């Protein structure tokens, strides 16, 4: 049963006082698809209620196949109300790191995400960045990234997330993680992860919310990257049975979610029914 | 200085009585190249002397981009004298395993190696085999292998070797190992390795030689797969500075070769100069 939305700033859940929610996007708000995907049932209305509640909301995604602004456009076209400033994908965080450390990347990323690297010097690369390049993960492109790393005296490899797979058009497809592992194995270089479940990535989002991790719950369809990653940072982690969720995720050997919900709407119902003020 | 070849059955090396030699092919006999490659300097004459010596000789390769008979043809055209029955690549060993265990593979292998799978039932696959597929390592083909594994109740993954990279046309290129690691990570399935450095693969060769591992020396350009793999089985392991050899291999953190030689010819000189009979 849906609960009427009230203006609250704290909800009680899992014995915690929750002041903020971080939402994964693909698999929680929408199902992935080659044409932008489709909204998960009741998720548009659920997000509206959540955003109206007074709780702090952020969107934390490992999406790197489109720019941030395109991602927001896709969500708006599906019917979601969403503020671009509240969306945290890996590439903007990656660009901050490149500038701080004076690094010039060789990019193995999706062509549609390239505009988010505008202004980044890519001449004479001294590091490699691998994102969810999908069909750009050819043998030729994998070799180019590998050869770039092998030529560097101090090879640096960044990965935009380390997800194993996701669901697209009803089918499981490989994410960036497997290709990152391929390059790590070939080069004996350990990648730095930018994106979930990197603690520094989550901390950036928490800092923007102005909240302590104990006050925040993360909702995602990735048992390891979303739920486990959030829990490692001190947040609560909720798994939803949408997106790439598979039955065996409920008995994952390493990660025990604080709760498992059928979908975002059921989570919002539960959270808002425990409003404290 | 070359030693005159005599008919010997034992040589003394590394404090052992050596009765047999296992040679890697690419990087030892020949350098890799898209047109079959080129013979390593003096390796044709060195192999002739070795085969004339009376010692037992076998060729142990992870080559899976051509059939065994094509590989032997390539070597003969380069000038090598070689008996196909003495060449041990992974695919014939793999086919024995498939028959023994009633397995029907989904193949992610090089098209030119497919004839070595003739007669193997590939309908309704219940395992996946990954070889050095080179340009067939597309995102699409990696997804097909991944999806096949994810649909199996008891997923079985075989890898024809686990090499990291090799040298082709003067350039380092990715071998099967990185793509095997990608599938392992995506599916949480541990691959069974068929080929070097699998002990059971080396044991098949030793059985064919009728020798104890302590009586055999393996010569290769892969510090881990050739040298380390052979040593793990109780053989001596010699690294050559040809093929994919890199300076840092001389100080590998885990593997210490019994000897490092400039090339096969230098190894044969040394071995035959220590003939005991």
pLDDT tens-digit series, residues B231-269: 999 999 999 999 999 999 999 999 999 999 999 999 999
CA–CA separation, A172 vs B197, rounded Å? 32
CB B59 within 8 A of CB B209: no
A178 touching chain B per CB within 8 A: yes
Residue of chain B nearest A149, judged by CA positions: B172
* Closest CB from B133, B181, B187 relative to A182: B181
Contact B181 A179 (CB under 8 A): no
Q: Which of B173, B183, B187 lies nearest to residue A143, judging by beta carbons? A: B173
Smallest CA–CA distance from A186 into chain B, residue: B164
Average of per-residue pLDDT across B166-195: 95
Measured between beta carbons, the chain A residues lying within 8 angstroms of B181 are 178, 181-182, 184-185
Is the CB of residue A179 less than 8 Å away from at least one CB of chain B? yes
If 0-12 CB within 10 Å is exposed, 13-18 middle and 19+ buried, where does residue A5 land? middle
Separation between Cα atoms, residue B261 and residue B267, nearest integer Å: 6
- Residue B188: closest C-alpha in chain A: A164
* Closest CA–CA distance from residue B183 to any residue of chain A (Å): 7
Q: Which residue of A has its CA nearest to B187?
A: A164
With a pLDDT cut of 70, the percent of chain A lying above it is: 96
Beta carbons of A139 and B135 less than 8 Å apart: yes
A141 to chain B, any CB pair closer than 8 A? The answer is no
Cβ–Cβ < 8 Å for A129, A160: yes
Minimal Cβ distance to A164: which of B135, B147, B185 = B185
Collect all residues of chain B within an 8 Å Cβ-Cβ radius of residue A175: 186
- In angstroms, the separation between the Cα of residue B34 and the nearest Cα of chain A is 14
Checking if the pLDDT of A99 tops 60, the result is: yes
A252 and B CB contact within 8 Å:
no
Which own/partner contact pairs does B103-107 have at CB distance under 8 Å and 24+ positions apart?
A: B103/B127, B103/B156, B105/B129, B105/B158, B106/B144, B106/B145, B106/B148, B107/B131
CA A135/CA A138 separation, integer angstroms: 7
pLDDT digits (tens, 9 = 90+) for B49-103: 999 999 999 999 999 999 999 999 999 999 999 999 999 999 999 999 999 999 9
Q: Model ipTM?
A: 0.87
Contact A186 B179 (CB under 8 A): no
B173 CB neighbours in chain A (<8 A) are 143, 146
> B263 to chain A nearest CA, in Å?
23
Residues of B in contact with A130 (CB under 8 A): none
Q: Are the Cβ atoms of B146 and A178 closer than 8 angstroms?
A: yes
Which of B138, B140, B174 is opposite residue A186, by nearest beta carbon? Answer: B174
The answer to whether A13 touches A236, Cβ cutoff 8 Å, is yes
A189 and A155 Cβ atoms separated by less than 8 Å = yes
pLDDT value of residue A7: 61
Tell me the two tokens of residue A78. Answer: 């599906």
Distance from the Cα of residue B119 to its chain's centroid = 24
Residue B6 pLDDT greater than 70, yes or no: no
Are the beta carbons of A174 and B181 separated by less than 8 Å?
A: no
Contact by Cβ (8 Å): B231, B255: yes
Distance from CA of B137 to the nearest CA of A (A): 5
- The mean pLDDT of chain A is 94
The answer to whether the CB atoms of B184 and A179 lie below 8 A apart is: no
To test the contact with chain A by mutation, choose from B178, B222, B225, B248 the residue with the greatest count of A C-beta atoms within 10 A, namely B178
A91 interfaces chain B, CB cutoff of 8 Å: no
Identify which of B229, B208, B175, B247 has the alpha carbon closest to the alpha carbon of residue B57: B208
With a cut of 90, say whether residue A41 has pLDDT above it. yes
Cβ pair A236, A217 in contact under 8 A: yes
DSSP sequence for A166-226: EEETTEEEE-HHHHHHHHHHHHT-PPEE-STT-HHHHHHHHHHHT--GGGEEEEES-IIII
Tokens of B121: 């039932």
Q: Inter-chain contact B139–A174, Cβ cutoff 8 Å?
A: yes
Burial of A238-260, coded b for 16+ CB within 10 Å and e otherwise, reads: bbbebbbbeeebeeeeebebbbb
Contact B176, A142 (CB under 8 A): no
pLDDT at B132: 97
Query: Does residue B177 belong to the interface with chain A, where contact is any CB pair within 8 Å?
Result: yes
Cα A146 from Cα A160, distance rounded (Å): 17
HEC string for chain B: CCCCCCCCCCEEECCEEECEEEECCECCCEECCCCCCEECCCHHHHHHHHHHCCCEEEEECCCCCCCHHHHHHHHHHHCCCCCHHHEECHHHHHHHHHHHHCCCEEEECCHHHHHHHCCCCCCCCCEEEECCCHHHCCHHHHHHHHHHHHHCCCCCEEECCCCCEEEECCEEEECHHHHHHHHHHHHCCCCEECCCCCHHHHHHHHHHHCCCHHHEEEEECCHHHHHHHHHHCCCEEEEECCCCCCHHHHHCCCCCCCEEECCHHHHHHHHHCCECC
Task: Summarize pLDDT for B150-159 with one digit per residue, the tens.
Answer: 999 999 999 9
Mean pLDDT (whole number) for A15-26:
95
pLDDT tens per residue, range A127-165? 999 999 999 999 999 999 999 999 999 999 999 999 999
Residue B137: list chain A partners with CB under 8 A: 138-139, 142
Looking at residue B20, its pLDDT comes to 97
Q: Which residues on adjacent β-strands are paired with residue A129?
A: A107, A158
Residue A130 CA to residue A144 CA, distance in Å, equals 12
> What distances in angstroms separate CA A22 from CA A32, A70, A206, A211, B111, one per listed residue?
19, 20, 9, 11, 47
Confidence of residue B3 (pLDDT cuts 50, 70, 90): very low
Rg value, chain A, Cα:
19
Contact state of A182 with B184 under an 8 Å Cβ cutoff: no
Q: Is A144 in the B-facing interface, judged by CB distances under 8 Å?
A: no
Residue B176 clears pLDDT 70, i.e. is over it: yes
CA distance A179 to chain B (A): 6
Whether residues A181 and B181 touch (CB distance < 8 A) is answered with: yes
Is-contact A268 A240, C-beta < 8 A? no
**Mean pLDDT (chain B, rounded):** 94
**Could A139 and B174 be called an inter-chain contact, meaning their C-beta atoms sit closer than 8 Å?**
yes
Distance from CA of A28 to the nearest CA of B (A): 21
Q: How far apart are the CA of A32 and the nearest CA of chain B, in angstroms? A: 16
């Amino acid at each position: 049963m849906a609960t009427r939305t009230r203006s609250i700033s704290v909800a009680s859940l899992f014995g915690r006082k929750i002041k903020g929610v971080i939402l994964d996007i693909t698999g929680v708000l929408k199902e992935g698809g080659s044409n932008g995907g489709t909204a998960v049932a009741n998720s548009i209305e659920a997000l509206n209620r959540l955003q109206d509640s007074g709780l702090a909301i952020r969107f934390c995604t490992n999406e790197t196949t489109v720019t941030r602004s395109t991602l927001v456009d896709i969500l708006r076209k599906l019917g979601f109300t969403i503020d671009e400033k509240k969306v945290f994908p890996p590439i903007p965080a990656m660009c901050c790191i490149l500038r701080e450390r004076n690094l010039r990347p060789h990019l193995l990323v999706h062509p549609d995400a390239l505009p988010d690297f505008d202004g980044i010097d890519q001449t004479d690369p001294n590091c490699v960045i691998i994102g969810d390049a999908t069909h750009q993960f050819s043998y030729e492109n994998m070799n180019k990234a590998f050869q770039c790393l092998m030529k560097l005296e101090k090879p640096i490899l960044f990965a935009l997330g380390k997800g194993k797979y996701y669901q697209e058009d009803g089918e499981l497809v490989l994410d960036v993680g497997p290709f990152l592992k391929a390059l790590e194995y070939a080069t004996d270089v350990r990648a730095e992860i930018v994106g979930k479940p990197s603690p520094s990535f989550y901390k950036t989002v928490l800092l923007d919310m102005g909240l302590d991790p104990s006050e925040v719950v993360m909702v995602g369809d990735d048992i390891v990257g979303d739920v486990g990653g959030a829990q490692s940072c001190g947040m609560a982690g909720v798994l939803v049975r949408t997106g790439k969720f598979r039955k065996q995720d409920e008995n994952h050997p390493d990660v025990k979610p604080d709760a498992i919900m059928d979908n975002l709407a059921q989570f919002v119902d539960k959270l808002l029914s425990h409003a404290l003020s």
